[in-house]
């Protein structure tokens, strides 16, 4: 007997969504997942790889495409974080045919109508221009001048792809605001200008363990790890 399970939890607007979408095929009345020792991570960022290795369940190695000599640069033409994460996951899975983890994340600023959003990594890079992270967050601060509402959030959509019909999706957020000026030296990207509400300081002032606790990606990966652990427990019961 083949059992198709679909579970969706979503708030009214995607920018505040904490989404778990699970598309899986399983046999009998529980889902079987083989024990995973490595995940191919659909990213070319060394910073993200280092962070993801800290976040993923103990005993799993994170491998990025460059490590296997593959130039990974899919066309991220989706209209949401989830769509782009799926594009990346499917593109890498088609090459490695092994379990894949993908993440698409970005900064959503209310006063800017949700920008930079899914274009966060390419913010200010029109016409082939490549900006540094410092240049990008400086541009953001300039654009925020005169705005009283500085509320913002980081969004992370994580996809765990175990097969063409075995896909888990988790989307999480961390709420905060845009600082008046950069503060802190840790992290990467927009971390120096993103004030995390719960922490009371910018992401760039957090230690790695603090960032993993508060961050959008940390929250999403804790749910991915639950899925991985649940699968192993189901395997042990067989």
Residues catalogued as catalytic: 104
Residue 119, φ and ψ in degrees, nearest 5: -100, 15
What CA dihedral angle connects 80, 108, 101 and 77, to 10 degrees? 30
Q: Residue 153: which of 219, 55, 77 has the closest Cα?
A: 219
- The angle, 0 to 180 degrees and rounded to 10, between the axes of the packed helices 46-55 and 216-237 is 50
Indicate the Cα dihedral angle 89, 226, 209, 92, nearest 10°.
-10
In the chain, the DSSP E strands lie at 2-9, 19-27, 38-41, 61-63, 100-109, 151-163, 166-178, 194-196, 201-202
């Amino acid at each position: 007997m083949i059992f198709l399970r679909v579970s969706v939890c979503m708030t009214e607007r995607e920018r505040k969504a904490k989404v778990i979408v699970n598309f899986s095929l399983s046999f009998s009345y529980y889902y079987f997942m083989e024990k995973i020792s490595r995940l191919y991570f659909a990213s070319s960022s060394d910073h993200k790889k280092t962070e993801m290795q800290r976040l993923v369940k103990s005993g799993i190695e994170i491998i990025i495409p460059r490590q296997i000599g593959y130039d990974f640069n899919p066309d991220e033409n989706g209209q949401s974080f989830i769509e782009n994460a799926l594009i990346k996951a499917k593109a890498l899975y088609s090459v490695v045919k092994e379990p894949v983890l993908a993440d698409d994340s970005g900064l959503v600023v209310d006063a800017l109508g949700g920008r930079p959003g899914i274009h966060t990594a390419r913010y200010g890079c029109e016409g082939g221009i490549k900006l540094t992270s410092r240049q990008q967050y400086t541009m953001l601060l300039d654009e925020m001048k005169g705005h009283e509402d500085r509320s913002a959030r980081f969004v992370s959509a994580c996809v765990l792809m175990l097969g063409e019909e075995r896909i888990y999706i988790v989307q999480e957020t961390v709420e905060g605001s845009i600082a008046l000026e950069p503060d802190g030296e840790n992290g990467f990207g927009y971390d120096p200008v993103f004030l995390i509400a719960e922490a009371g300081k910018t992401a760039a002032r957090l230690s790695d363990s603090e960032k993993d606790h508060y961050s959008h990606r940390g929250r999403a990966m804790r749910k991915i790890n639950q899925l991985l652990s649940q699968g192993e427990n189901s395997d042990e019961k067989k």
